Structure 1
Amino acid sequence: MWDAPVRVTHWLMVASFAAAWLTAESERWRLLHVSAGYTLAGLVAFRIVWGLVGTRHARFASFVRGPAAVLAYLRGLLGGHGTHTPGHNPAGALAILALLGGSALLTASGWALYNELGGHALEELHEALANGLLALVGVHVAAVVVSSRLHRENLVRAMVDGRQSGAAGDAIRRPWRGVAAVVLAAVLGFWAWQWHSAPAADITAAHSQGDDD
């Protein structure tokens, strides 16, 4: 149901945000933090493009609905009989838009800080955005668990193998694994380039910090 680019991008975004979050307070892992942030920004950009030109269930036009549809779905969810939809449900669509928007703001503020374009206020904003995004991730995970139990399907597994219950006509024609492979190769290539071309000062600082620890 979900194509390979959507699934690969989703898990790479999870890994990037987790890596950036875990290294946020450590000067020793500054390069890792910055690399994870740049990776997240690139993945957000790709997901936006794929949301416009990708397969049926990847396109925003197929799952982003108005407030009435979202409220109707939430009422059904609270009543224990939410309507099953192929791909992302109306409430999940809001979470996706919020996660993409929050990630874009977070990485933009991080880029500005890294290039010394802001002061303490921007640093506080960056931290607030990170905390807000973490809270949103928690809400998203909880909603996935509830939806999985309500609809009796494993949505986490569906985001791994792409298979979701539904009518035959809801299936996509091809998974586009080649595009997913290009996305993965681009991320791995960026990380290899980032670490091999890292300024000597950053590497020395990291080693010095490690010796002090």
Structure 2
Amino acid sequence: MRDKVAIEVWDGWIRLFHWGLVAAVLVSFYTTKTSGAPFLFPVEVHAQAGYLVIGLLVFRWLWGTLGSVYARFKTFLYPPAEVAAYSKSLLKRQPGTYASHNPLGGWMVLLILLSLSFQAMSGLFLSDDIFFQAPLYGLFGDGVDSQLRTLHQLNSDLLIILIGLHLVGLIVHRLLGESLVAAMLVGTKRFRQQPVDERNEPFNAATLRLRALGALLIAAGVVLWLWFY
């Protein structure tokens, strides 16, 4: 049997983003379902978790353009024909091997990021009408705020569906012998055959560190502005 080839796919920044986002989203969802302990004012914690989500998303959108090769959107967003072909091969239990997200997974990632971005941004215009008002509440008037409240609630249901599909995808790939969770923990994937999307692009580590620092500073600035607005 051919030895497995190890490829470093997910850089440390992507892994920190991913698990930080998981934690922030879990806190955000939890605080919509509780009215007491362990949080004195769950709605404020919900908002603060939302600010962190926005900061993380700002970083991810920037890193998806300027970051390491497998973190870039252009690496894992495929045209419809390739998505259809991959879907057919998956149904036959003969999917191609991808280092980054496969054609279906890539578009699922984009949908989740877009849905999370809308959820977090729309929350900036809301109020609980009692204790809390978000930083941009009232900016466009009551009518817009009311519409955004409705869309915020509807999109939360969509998010649950998307996250559920994401978890199903993880299970399916585990059954096919690919542990995506382990790869997101350690950053490395092991393959028995050459991945379809393997990239050997040269990169300058110092340049990537500077880009990461710039993206982090922008994201942190957004979070701090929202937190202390």
TM-score in terms of structure 2 length: 0.73
Query: Quick check: 1:80 aligned with 2:93?
Result: yes
CA distance in 2, matches of 1:154, 1:170: 20
Q: Say if 2:28 and 2:49, in contact at 8 Å, map to a contact too.
A: yes
CA displacement, residues 26-77 of structure 1 (integer Å, 9 cap, x when unaligned): 5621121011111111111111110111111011111110111111111111
CA distance in 2, matches of 1:140, 1:25: 22
What's the offset of the Cα at 1:120? 3.6
CA distance in 2, matches of 1:103, 1:109: 10
Structure 1: which 5+ runs fail to align?
199-213
Letter in 2 for 1:20: S
Taking a change above 3 Å as real, the CA distance of residues 156 and 121 of structure 1, as seen in their structure-2 partners, is same
CA distance in 2, matches of 1:51, 1:119: 31
Taking a change above 3 Å as real, the CA distance of residues 134 and 82 of structure 1, as seen in their structure-2 partners, is same
Query: Quick check: 1:138 aligned with 2:151?
Result: no
What's the offset of the Cα at 1:24? 1.8
**Partner SS state of residue 83, structure 1:** coil
**Partner SS state of residue 94, structure 2:** coil
Letter in 1 for 2:94: H
**Partner SS state of residue 137, structure 2:** coil
Q: Say if 1:2 and 1:163, in contact at 8 Å, map to a contact too.
A: yes
Select 2:181's aligned residue among 151, 156, 159. Answer: 156
Structure 2: which 5+ runs fail to align?
1-8, 36-40, 127-133, 139-143
Percent identical: 30
State the aligned residue count.
190
CA distance in 1, matches of 2:189, 2:209: 17
Select 1:12's aligned residue among 10, 14, 20. Answer: 20
CA displacement, residues 93-113 of structure 1 (integer Å, 9 cap, x when unaligned): 101110111011111110011
Letter in 1 for 2:137: E
Q: Say if 2:53 and 2:120, in contact at 8 Å, map to a contact too.
A: yes
Task: Give the root-mean-square deviation of aligned CA atoms.
Answer: 2.9
Higher helix fraction: Structure 1 or Structure 2? Answer: 1
Letter in 2 for 1:164: K
